[in-house]
Structure 1
Amino acid sequence: MFFLVAFLAWSWDAFDFFTVSLTVPELAKQFGKTNTDITWGITLVLMLRSVGAIIFGIAADRYGRKWPFVVNNVLFIVLELGTGFTQTYNEFLAVRALFGIAMGGLYGNAAATALEDCPEAARGIISGMLQQGYAFGYLLATVFARGLVNTTPHGWRPLFWFGACPPVLIIAFRLCLPETKSYRERVRVRSAGSNVGKTFIAEGKVALRRHWLILVYMVLLMAGFNFMSHGSQDLYPTMLTNQYNFSPNAVTVTQVVANLGAMLGGTMIGYCSQIVGRRFSIIFICVIGGALLYPYTFTSSHAVIAAAFFEQFCVQGAWGVIPVHLMEMSPGSFRTFVVGTSYQLGNLVSSASSTIESTIGERFPLPPKGKVKRYEYGIVICIFMGCVYAYVILLTFIGPEYRNRHFDVEYDRDMEEAAGRDAIERIAHETDGSQRAGSEVDEKGVRRREMA
């Protein structure tokens, strides 16, 4: 249930993000702007996500996973509705900027909720499946954009109004679940001291002193990964329609198939990382992805569907390793904050991906189609992604790996220094005692059933 609620929330986070990517031409026409102007709405979201990651990450590590998660989804409802009612370009940018803060707070919380209590042997596949909430959300956005955009008198707005509805159900789902066992153990250790807040601050100081270098590395790594995903996806629908004259139906089919490849790739490579290692899995699949860039961006016929499937298999295959890789590298007391903030600071660095590609692409004009200006976006995406793959491979190669690291508080040396070994041993002893008592109750129940 923890995995499922995290997966659904992360999927809808992606859905809300891609509603803009999939309606760039319609939004440009509505507000009298160019496609590049509208991509600033995407860029603002990416730039401000780190603010949300910091705010909600600290809140989740201090006060629990549940309520920051709920607040996050309430903001999704309000701001997605607000986007659907904007009347001017400035209003649109303002609402999307606020949406960036809300979106930024979810990733770290979702990863911690899904993986903290997960058995070690299952971490790889659970990580891969969780990350593919991103691709699943993209797929849903593609399908609903085709069904809701320009099929009513309200144009693009129904897609955003619809996007505000499912978070209501996700909130109800999360309210039915408790905090994770790992978080509850940490609360008990902090409560054993004289001051919970003081202990939490002490944990932060210890984590920063011991792990500052790995935190910098995680931000640099996530910058590469975010350039990889946004560079390959954000402007791709525009390339298909503008450069290769694909119909809306053809774009929809291509995007759906690509995201099916992404979900398969993330799950498979995430699972393989449990066997062959996190770093090897990332490097291997990035090499394959680089080899597929030419057909992905230079195939002008509908055969590009196959290239899109396998390219996104590789992109999200590498991404499937990331949730558990970040969790295993993060300090135990600040997993939500560190995972979310490193991911979103990487987003901040890569926030101008679509704007960069769009701006450079406009330097390569093609013959116009009527009054519509056309540009050779494919060559830009291909070169851009080649550089990104090389960067990710290099950084992954030189970085560390902590496969199957223990998440329980009794193995956390940072917590031991901040709260004292006595507090951890006392909580561990109480936990063992309660487990033994529960085991005895279970055994008695089994004996009674056998006698009956």
Structure 2
Amino acid sequence: MAASAEPAPRSFRQLSGQQRKAFFAAWLGYLLDGFDFVLITLVLTQIAAEFGLTRTHAATLVSAAFVTRWLGGLVLGAIADRFGRKPAMILAIACFAVGSALCGFAWDYWSMFVFRAVVGIGMAGEYGSSATYVMESWPKNMRNRATGFLLSAYPIGTVVAALAYLAIVPNAGWRWLFYAGILPIALTLYLRRTLPEAEEWQAEVGSRKDVSTSSTLFGPRRRIPNALLAAALSAVLVLIFSQSGGGFTPLLIVLALAGFVVFAVQVAERLWPVMLAIMVTVFCAFLYSWPIQSLLPTYLKTEVGYQDVQVTTALTWAGLGYAAGSCLAGVVADRWGTRRTYVIGLFVSLGFVYPVFALPEGNVVLLWVLLFGMLATSQGISGLLPKYIGEHFPTRLRAAGLGFSYNVGALGGAVAPLAGSAIADRIGSLGASLALLAITLTVVVALIIGFDLPARIGRALGADPEPLENRSTHA
């Protein structure tokens, strides 16, 4: 009698040493990603004062990193599909660490905008390559946990950033906070040099040169046109999100959308309608989450009147809630299914939004508890997004498909602080503005994912993603 197949691991302890090492390296890199990316939100008031910026104009510096994320997701995703997940991760972390350090040398608005754009390229590549690396290194029955546990690193990075802010900025100024963003890069690069490549990519793509997104995007006949299109699209987005487009802004938005469609058709092939639907989903998700992430420190300082130490503590509890929620979402989703868990988490989060922004100054401990619960459910549930998006694409397209669709949708994060500030200027309350965006867009995202609109659109247009590998039957 033939020996029975060895059962698949069902817990973190049952994973092999290489699988755990791969996860730790990716987790650490994503922690540094969160650390570097959030720094500007902590010192936005200081930067605005030094450069003479209004609150709305300063908020565009948060948006700057989102302007280039689509490019990082596309290019580094294509590199990951062609050369492997590991080299793309190394390039990504080097990019955002160097970009963060350069922010410390910024001398005016536009220099800071450009350096933040460099951070955005690296962050996008880190998200797509790390998520696909961990998913393809872990067994299929644990992939919600793979992405949920991985994304718990980002809020831990924000907590570390908040603590670094408290230790560095009062003593040395805001610039040194950015300089510190490059320090941990050596450790992560050392860890990643010793990692094996993702097993699934190695088995299904490996050394083949004709099956990945790079052969489509960077082929001889498309290389130059795509480079020109990427440059033009980047310029258009800079004009839009720096608020420099003037009366041409509506036309620029149309041109940007057309450019994204052109790239989506090339990257996703017959699945391009599904990719566009995913972009819309992620865009809405960022519109409910990023106004809070980017403007919460400003709200606590200006409208509630908290001091730096109190704001740092509040952000620490919020980050811990985000991390705990990501891990819990992964565990639950491997039992209940990705979409069901996602929708339940979003609706539970609505119960925390109003109390957080209705709470007056002085209720510090209650604020910690509410922020922990709100971030655990609203942000933590986003730990399932890489699994939800990645299962729509085959292995040969997964890194670019995930990286590009997610990071185009992430332009919602560029719109978010501008929308939050603009609504606040109109209604006279930043807290009410953040609550309004959170409640409205949370419901929209819950409906999109609950009814599985990307897959439904794909089936309606004859681009059914269900036959693709790793498409969970109970997702």
What interval of TM-score do these two structures reach, taking the shorter chain for normalisation?
A: 0.7 to 0.9
Q: Secondary structure at the match of 1:6?
A: helix
Letter of the structure 2 residue corresponding to residue 285 of structure 1:
G
- 1:81 offset after TM fit, Å? 1.7
Letter in 1 for 2:169: V
Instruction: Name which one, 1 or 2, has greater alpha-carbon Rg.
Output: 1
* 1:127 to 1:198, Cα distance in 2 relative to 1, 3 A: closer
Per the alignment, residue 326 of structure 1 pairs with: 389
Contact 2:392–2:468 (8 Å) recurs in 1 = no
Residue 61 (structure 1) aligned with residue 114 (structure 2): no
Matches within 5 A, 1:12-411: 12-152=32-172, 155-188=173-206, 190=208, 200-201=215-216, 208-300=268-360, 301-302=363-364, 303-365=366-428, 376-399=429-452
Assess if the C-alpha contact under 8 Å between 1:86 and 1:92 holds in 2.
yes
Give, in angstroms, the shift of residue 397 of structure 1. 1.6
Which residue of structure 1 aligns with residue 6 of structure 2? none
Distance 1:65 1:347 in 2: 21
User: Are the counterparts in 2 of residues 79 and 99 from structure 1 also a CA contact under 8 Å?
Assistant: yes
The answer to whether the aligner puts 1:2 opposite 2:65 as a matched pair is: no
TM-score between the two structures when normalised by the length of structure 2:
0.77
Alignment deviations for residues 240-268 of structure 1 (CA, whole Å, 9 cap, x no partner) = 11001011111111111111111111111
Gaps of 5+ in 2: 1-20, 220-263, 456-465, 470-475
Matches of 1:199 and 1:27, distance apart in 2: 39
Is 2:41 the counterpart of 1:11?
no
Q: Distance in 2 between matches of 1:223 and 1:136?
A: 23
Provide the aligned C-alpha RMSD in A. Answer: 2.5
Deviation at 1:102, TM superposition (A): 2.3
Q: 1:295 to 1:326 in 2, by over 3 A?
A: same
Structure 1 residues 205 and 284, CA, compared in 2 at 3 Å: closer, same or farther?
Answer: closer
Task: After superposition, give the CA deviation of every residue in 1:139-177 in whole Å (9 maximum; x if it has no partner).
Answer: 11111111111212xx10111111111122111111111
Task: Classify 1:157/1:190 alpha carbon distance in 2 versus 1 (closer, same or farther; 3 Å).
Answer: same
**Does the aligned pair in 1 maintain the 2:265–2:272 contact within 8 Å?**
no
- In structure 2, how many angstroms separate the alpha carbons of the residues matched to 1:201 and 1:56? 14
Residues 352 and 370 in structure 2, CA contact (< 8 A), matched pair in contact too: yes
Secondary structure of residue in 1 paired with 2:441: helix
Change in CA separation of 1:199 and 1:311 when aligned onto 2, cut-off 3 Å: closer
Which amino acid is 1:46 matched to? F
Q: Is the 8 A contact 1:265 1:316 kept in 2?
A: yes
Distance 2:333 2:277 in 1: 20
Q: CA deviation at 1:78?
A: 2.2
Percent identity of equivalent pairs: 25
Return the offset for 1:207.
7.5
Counterpart-to-counterpart distance in 2, 1:363 and 1:199? 46
Counterparts of 2:419 and 2:180 in 1: how far apart (Å)?
30
Say if 2:162 and 2:316, in contact at 8 Å, map to a contact too.
yes
Q: Given residue 332 of structure 2, which amino acid in structure 1 is its aligned partner?
A: C
Distance 1:401 1:116, change over 3 A: farther
Match of 1:425 in 2: none
For 1:330, what is the secondary structure of its paired residue?
A: coil
Q: How much has 1:205 moved relative to structure 2?
A: 8.5
Distance 1:281 1:198 in 2: 31
C-alpha change, 1:292 and 1:151, in structure 2 (3 Å) is: same
* 8 Å contact from structure 2 (residues 81, 400) kept in 1: yes
Per-residue CA deviation, residues 258-285 of structure 1 (Å, 9 max, x unaligned), is 1111111111122111111111111111
Deviation for aligned residue 1:74: 2.1
What's the offset of the Cα at 1:60? Answer: 0.9
TM-score (ref. length: structure 1): 0.81
The CA distance in 2 between the partners of 1:354 and 1:197, in whole Å, is 36
- Name the amino acid aligned to 1:143: L
After superposing on structure 2, the runs of 4+ consecutive aligned residues of structure 1 that deviate more than 4 Å are 195-207, 412-415
**Judging changes above 3 Å, is the alpha-carbon distance between structure 1 residues 305 and 77 closer, same or farther for their aligned structure 2 residues?**
closer
How far apart are 1:66 and its partner, in Å?
2.2
Q: Could you tell me how far 1:226 is from its partner in structure 2?
A: 1.7
Any stretches of 5+ residues in structure 1 without a counterpart? Answer: 366-375, 403-411, 416-452
Give the number of equivalent residue pairs. Answer: 391
Q: CA deviation at 1:44?
A: 1.4
Cα distance between partner residues in 2 of 1:392 and 1:176: 39
Structure 2 counterpart SS, 1:179: coil
Structure 1 residue 5, shift from structure 2 partner:
1.3
